[in-house]
Amino acid sequence: MDVKIYAINLNRSRERWDSITRQAAELELDVVRVPGLDGSLVQADDRIDCDDPEFRRKNGRTMLPGEYGCYRSHLQALRTFVDSGEPIGIIAEDDVELTRDLPARVAAAFDAVPTADVIKLFNHRVVGFRLFGTSSLGDSVGRATHGPMGSAACYAVSHKGAIKLLNGLARMEYPWDVALERGWATGANICTVRSNLIMAGRQETTIASRSVYKATKFPWWKRSKTYLHRILETVRRVRYARGS
């Protein structure tokens, strides 16, 4: 199956686009550019489909401009993929390191778990993995009991799954990487590979540094509702991981 890669790229990140297109040419992969939204160019009052009070309550901090831009960019990538009419696509950020066999491994992973709507191909951590199936190319596909797993740098999605995400995640209440994993809320079957299929995040993030993230956090005594929400989310995640 010819699985295209939809790569999100900001206009100001020309070097990243040059890098990923060089990779694609060398590996004979089909990469489609999706222009990303630069959140720093959007005033807070001009943000659309964004629930800022819920974001603050559920995340215990203020929303970063880069997070808003990232969220909107992933939605645009999903729309571009849906409009193509293709059965399976790969959504990637522009700092990933591609591999020649990535499309074949994605196709094999969906063959192993045909009910999957999304298969994450890269995570920072996978804890308490529950196996649903093993592909013909040896990749284990399932869900993690604990999370968030971190990062939405690269994931594969079916046409039906993309529509579910567009409907279920139209309004922003979390950063994209957290929202993507919440299949219990969107009704999408979100899976992951046990071991990463690509490398990602080696370049400096375009969203924010760790110090900036830290500065957006509310004092601990203002995060009581956030802590309670996270406990409930942990229970929901464990229950979700048990399903198939």
Beta bridge partners of 34: 8
Confirm if 32 and 7 have CB atoms less than 8 A apart.
yes
Question: Tens of pLDDT along 29-52?
Answer: 999 999 999 999 999 999 999 999
Distance CA(49)–CA(39), nearest Å, equals 14
Confirm if 157 and 182 have CB atoms less than 8 A apart.
no
Question: Tens of pLDDT along 140-188?
Answer: 999 999 999 999 999 999 999 999 999 999 999 999 999 999 999 999 9
Contacts of 39 (CB under 8 A, 6+ apart): 64, 65, 66, 67, 68, 69, 70, 72
Distance CA(231)–CA(237), nearest Å, equals 10
Confirm if 97 and 200 have CB atoms less than 8 A apart.
yes
Which of helix, strand or coil describes residue 195?
coil
Distance CA(134)–CA(132), nearest Å, equals 7
| Position 1 pLDDT exceeds 90 | no
Q: For the chain, where are the alpha helices, taking DSSP H only?
A: 14-27, 52-59, 65-84, 102-112, 159-168, 176-181, 183-186, 210-216, 224-241
Q: Give residue 224's pLDDT.
A: 94
Which of helix, strand or coil describes residue 221?
helix
Mean pLDDT for all residues in the chain: 94
Task: Give this prediction's pTM.
Answer: 0.94
Which of helix, strand or coil describes residue 233?
helix
Q: How far is CA 21 from CA 17, 28, 36, 66, in A?
A: 6, 10, 16, 23
Element (H, E) at 227: helix 224-241
**Backbone φ, ψ for residue 201 (5° rounding):** 75, 20
Contacts of 15 (CB under 8 A, 6+ apart): none
